[in-house]
Amino acid sequence: MSLLDSAVTGAPLERREGLLRGYLPVVLAVLVLGLVPPLAGGSRYLVSVATLLVVLVTYGVAFNVVFGGTGQLLLCIGALAAVAAYTSALLSGELGWPLAITLPLGVALATTGGAALSWLAVRRRLDTIFVGVVTLTASLVVHNLLLGRRELTGGETGLVVQAGSGTALRDPVLGYYAVLALLAVGLAGHRAIQRSALGWAFRAIRDDAEAAALAGIDVARTKVLAAAVASALAGAAGSLYAHVEGFVSPTTFAFATVDVRVIVAVAFGGLGTLLGPVVGGVVVTLLDEVLRPLGQLRLAVYGAVLLVLFLAVPRGAVPAVGWSWHRATARWRGRGTSPAGGR
């Protein structure tokens, strides 16, 4: 029960499980996702869908850290992934630099970009909606640069990623495990943050930034740090995906492709919860497959789903299920109490 509480609804600050219990949800989630290739029975299609799912979940973890953690509505996860992916693909493809250099370079560029946007927002004291507007604008700038610098990026046709061909990344199953390994790092990192003083600072800032500052928390530094961590993870996921797929286009990282899905997934899974992005990502991927015949109209369905989610279960469907489950089992055990701390 407390496993479900801590993994899904976010544990009370004061309770901190031992190492084993604390990281068990991460291990379980990664193990379950690791079973996909053997269960797919050699289906390239299923493995490719699963790869996209794991990348989406990784983006979700990044968004969850920065928005769920510190309340910064960073609407440029796709753009940050694009910056890292195109940097690595172009430097390796055009100049022949090794991936070992261009991958970290791309991630560093995305990290700097995300941190700079956050720093700007903190300096200008932008509220949540304005951070959203600024970062969405940055997204559109990146998107249009990719479309416009045709001679470099191939425009909307996209770019065949030369680098990485012939490496293990191009093997569908090994590529899948590579993105899964990154997700494991992301989830474990999120858990480590939740267990540390930084996690306390996140909770306090998300609750009330002014009160957090009065309590002695360096709000500006913490917010920029959260944005940097999220940008690094999003960048790493984007560029890894580019080299696994062997192809990138502006659509791969477009707002409608990445950010909308990420928001729906995290909102469904439960903002700020460790496993929210995993559960939400699975649901969004299934939704995607079901809605495929609708084409672009899928976005309208996403909008409707998002509306219903925010109105009906503002803290996410999964925490809601967690609470109902807790209440039901508590009654069943003859104890009608709600979990301490109300979370």
327 binds other proteins (CB under 8 A): no
Q: Residue 192 and residue 45: Cα distance in Å, rounded?
A: 34
Q: How far is the CB of 196 from other proteins (least distance, A)?
A: 9
Q: Which of 76, 134, 201, 279 binds other proteins (CB under 8 A)?
A: 201
- Per the CB < 8 A criterion, the answer to whether 201 and 222 are in contact is yes
Choose one: 115-123, 197-205, 285-293, 300-308; the region binding other proteins (CB under 8 A).
Answer: 197-205
Size of the site for other proteins (CB under 8 A): 27
220 binds other proteins (CB under 8 A): yes
Nearer to other proteins, 214 or 290 (CB): 214
141 binds other proteins (CB under 8 A): no
One-character DSSP codes across 124-189: TT--HHHHHHHHHHHHHHHHHHHHH-HHHH-GGG-EE--TTTTSGGGSHHHHHHHHHHHHHHHHHH
Q: Which of 32, 141, 197, 304 binds other proteins (CB under 8 A)?
A: 197
Q: Which of 12, 34, 104, 155 binds other proteins (CB under 8 A)?
A: 12
211 binds other proteins (CB under 8 A): yes
Q: Residue 259 and residue 267: Cα distance in Å, rounded?
A: 12
Q: Residue 60 and residue 74: Cα distance in Å, rounded?
A: 12
Which residues are paired to 247 by β-bridges? 160
One-character DSSP codes across 187-219: HHHHHHHHHSHHHHHHHHHHH-HHHHHHTT--H
Nearer to other proteins, 97 or 200 (CB): 200
| H or E, element range at 86 | helix 77-95
Mark residues 13-32: x for contact with other proteins by CB under 8 A, - for none: xx-x----------------
342 binds other proteins (CB under 8 A): yes
Q: Which of 1, 215, 294, 297 binds other proteins (CB under 8 A)?
A: 215
Q: Which of 38, 216, 295, 334 binds other proteins (CB under 8 A)?
A: 216
Q: Which of 23, 97, 200, 255 binds other proteins (CB under 8 A)?
A: 200
Q: Classify each residue of 110-146 as buried b or exposed e, where b means 16 or more C-beta atoms within 10 Å of its C-beta.
A: bbebbbebbbebbeeebeeeebbebbbebbeebbebb
223 binds other proteins (CB under 8 A): no
109 binds other proteins (CB under 8 A): no
Residues in the site for other proteins, rule: CB under 8 A?
A: 12-14, 16, 197, 200-201, 203-204, 206-208, 210-220, 340-343
